[in-house]
Amino acid sequence: MIIRKAYLLTCDENSERAIFCKNLLDKIGFEVIIFKAIPNEDRVLSNKNSFLEIYKLISEGNDNWVYVFEDDINIHEEVSLEEIIKYENVAENKDFFYLGCCVFKQLIYPISDVIIDNDKVRIVNGNVRGAHAMAFSKNGAKEIYNIAKFSPIRYMDVIHDIYTSLHPTYVMRFNLESYIEGHMGLFYQDRKKFVSLVH
């Protein structure tokens, strides 16, 4: 039986948004771990500190790959855990990949030689935002933790941007775009259902 852990970052585990996202991830087959955001008057620092703690837990854990989601996600179409894991196999030397992200539409993001389920996998190498749906190997979590811990940059998605400029990586189902321009990938931030809590 395939098991993959997924951290779900939320401010309130009993909120409608957290329950919706947990059910969504449960249905896919993830073993969902609710991670309550570390309190801080500054919501941006609360978000950053929470991600840091999650990355530390992943880097010190026993799992080869672990997934991290924020509690504002939705998906374009149903997906199996088996399909998602295919990206682990091709991203083995990358240590990190997106299941959804935000890009700048005026830029061209290269197509890799990798094809998964008839989808030509796109690469991001910088110029990417969003931290709502990601996958990390133990090593990837450790590397990003070490970068973020000592970085004065407040926003985690900007730190991920820097990491991908050094280590280009894949996006799952880049061909899918949400109703928000530039929000690409299978998972997207559902701003109609959930407002952003990080400013």
Task: Give 122's strand partners.
Answer: 111, 171
Residue 199 included in any domain: no
Structure tokens at 103: 């890009």
CA–CA separation, 24 vs 10, rounded Å? 14
pTM for the whole thing? 0.94
Residue 164 included in any domain: yes
Range of the domain at 20: 5-189
The tally of domains found in the chain comes to 1
- How high is the pLDDT of residue 199? 45
- Please report, for the domain that includes residue 110, its CATH number: 3.90.550
CA–CA separation, 2 vs 113, rounded Å? 27
Residue 196 included in any domain: no
pLDDT tens-digit readout, 174-189:
999 999 999 999 999 9
Residue 114 included in any domain: yes
- How high is the pLDDT of residue 45? 95
Residue 195 included in any domain: no
Q: What percent of the chain has pLDDT over 70?
A: 96
Residue 179 included in any domain: yes
Residue 178 identity (one-letter amino acid): S
Residue 168 included in any domain: yes
Q: How many residues does the chain have?
A: 199
Q: Name residues of the chain where pLDDT drops below 70.
A: 91-92, 195-199
Residue 20 included in any domain: yes
